[in-house]
Amino acid sequence: MLAAGGPSLPAGARKASIHRRARVPLEPYWFMAPAVIMLATVYLGPMIYAVMTSTTHWVLTEPGSETIRAGLENYTDVLGAPSFWQAVKVTLLYTLTSVTLSLTLGTLLALLLDNELHFASFFRSIMLIPMVITPAVIAIFWKLLYEQEQGVLNSVLVALGFGKVAWLGLEHAFFAMVIMDSWQNTPFFMLVILAGLQSVDSNLMDAARVDGANVFQRFRYVVLPHLVPYMLIAAAFRGIATMNDFDKIWLLTQGGPGEATTTITVYTYKIAFSSFDMGRTTAIAMIFVVIVLITSAPLLRHLFRTARRPA
């Protein structure tokens, strides 16, 4: 029997044809398997071991203590310690302040360099230098600048007729830490946002100019909406990295004075190498992972929603 579109296939042949079309090729997954196994070994294995360690009373100075089970005792001890919540507060405030300042300065520099300026390429290269310097070198450099007696900043203030400032004292240490981090990370924001500015559709800008929009209106209604995904990407990357910052903070202030600059990473280091309590230290690390996921989830969700939105 002939169908309208041509000869019909037997039932068995139709099933075989449908099966061939519906079959998912396995070759790509075989090529991906080595990388997946490697990542699972490198990341998932240590994560499982860390979770198991966090439920023990393992203290390095007490042989055999790694086999003593503690259950959730380490977690309850950490969550009940006021010093831990002070470290969480400092970490979140440090991240929010530093990322906001770096984003603002990076945006301003990107807008400046996006114009046709003389030696723009030279200035762009110079401004990228802080981003490629080792964090330890940056900390030592800023510690010399902040030094109270012979530091460059206080020498300038004295020359201008002002008094010396205890930059690393209790009142100013936190802001000194933020300025140091912003100085290093502003070029990253500048680079990302400059890439966004150079990808703005020139036809939209010309149309807005023809419609009578001034500079601020073109930035508000054309440029800024286009830059939002770039800003979110940069803020997400730098926010997570800033929360994990340790080396610069430790070399600059060692978390002091008092607990003024003690972030969670510094707090974890102090617990690990003062009491050598690996169980409690690992519990702090696990809680920190949860905090990073919770704080970064809204930003990443908004980023993915923006990326899926049709142009």
**pLDDT per position as a tens digit, 66-114:** 778 888 899 999 999 999 999 999 999 999 999 999 999 999 999 888 8
- Angstrom distances, CA of residue 259 to CA of 86, 143, 162, 249: 8, 18, 29, 12
Residue 4 phi/psi, 5-degree rounding, is -60, -35
- Let me know if 255 is exposed, middle or buried by CB neighbors in 10 A (0-12, 13-18, 19+): buried
Q: Please tell us whether the domain made up of 86-202+231-308 is placed in CATH 3.30.70.2190.
A: no
* pLDDT for residue 2: 46
* pLDDT for residue 42: 86
> Is residue 1 over pLDDT 50?
no
Q: What average pLDDT does range 7-27 have in this prediction?
A: 57
* pLDDT for residue 10: 57
Local structure of 7: helix, strand or coil: strand
Cα-Cα-Cα-Cα dihedral sign, residues 270, 273, 276, 279: positive
Which stretches of the chain are DSSP H helices? 11-22, 27-39, 45-53, 73-79, 82-113, 120-127, 129-132, 135-146, 152-159, 173-197, 202-210, 215-218, 224-243, 247-252, 264-274, 278-308
Predicted TM-score (pTM) of this structure: 0.82
pLDDT band at 305 (very low <50, low <70, confident <90, very high): confident
Please tell me which residue, 44 or 287, carries the higher pLDDT value: 287
Which contacts of 59-62 are long-range, i.e. CB under 8 A and separated by 24 or more positions? 59/275, 59/276, 59/277, 59/278, 59/279, 60/276, 60/278, 61/276
| Alpha-carbon gap, residue 268 to 264, rounded angstroms | 6
Distance of alpha carbon 267 from its chain centroid, rounded? 19
